[in-house]
Amino acid sequence: MALQCSFIPYTLHFKFDARTSRGAISQHQVYFIKLLNTAEQSIVGVGECAPLAGLSIDYRPDLVQKLEEVCQLINGLKTESITLTEVSEQPDLQEWPAVRFALETALLDLKNGGKRVLYNNMFSSGEAGIPINGLVWMGDKDFMQQQIAQKLAQGYTCLKLKIGGLDFTTELEILQHIREAAPENELTIRVDANGAFSPEDAFKKLDRLARYNVHSIEQPIKQGQWKAMAELCAYTPVPIALDEELIGVQTPDKQEELLDAIKPQYIILKPTLVGGLQASSDWIDLAEKRSIGWWMTSALESNIGLNAISQLTANYAITMPQGLGTGQLYHNNIASPLQIEQGELWYRQQQEWGHV
């Protein structure tokens, strides 16, 4: 008896060209890792490796080769189990966060019977939903306003807008339009600049955004500019959430150094990008010790990855909407029990998982 590991590629197709300040994407290449015990081959754990171009440190030409190596390593262990700690502490996986996330997910799934239930909590049992923000993608003014109207009609009380792709004055007009329709006590607005502002003009733009009672802004300037970001966080009229800034910061010492140097109001955790489930939990521990807020966000994974992130999130006392509304982006997503109802994500157990 031993573990058997394999992987399959899968191309996700967007329903529209998803635009950020880094450009537009129409499809997303992911890889599903499958893990089983040869003694019970009908029980299969599944995880998703879905690095993003331009963001993930493991979006590399040799990714498939690495996946092959990982499968060969596990297949050669002649053991019935491997722990999450053993996965996360593998030295040769430190630079492969999306692979680590996929392996952790597959291991937990296998351990719990291959039913895509990784953690037993109120969410995975279908007893509680997770409040999420409605994601509004970049596009022309009409396209963005159409999305906003749709999200408000669907019952969202928190919207997240991608900004930095249009003229800033136009983006402010869109915010004005939202605030005319829904005041602050009815609707929370988050914005995500994806590093689109320059350090020289960031504060002026933040000051103008503050007039619309914006809850927070993600990554106003590009990552790696710790001093400039620390100055913004110290004086900003809009709370700042670090996002891309966390990518590639793999060791506890460096993570503490980053948080202590920048002192952000929030951090945003994307397990695919920061190293998986355990790595995300470690970031949360560091943030909470420093009274830094956080929320979890998916990173364009299929429902396999989204499910793992959502179930991890539900292990915590959730105090604000999470960024887990990406399951409806694709024409060919994996069918799942994940359902969005009135601005909340639910795990409806009566819905079956599609085949991977």
Residues annotated as catalytic (active site), given as ranges: 162, 270
CA 325 to chain centre: 10
Residue 266's nearest CA partner among 250, 244, 243, 234 is 243
Distance separating alpha carbons of residues 305 and 330, to the nearest angstrom: 14
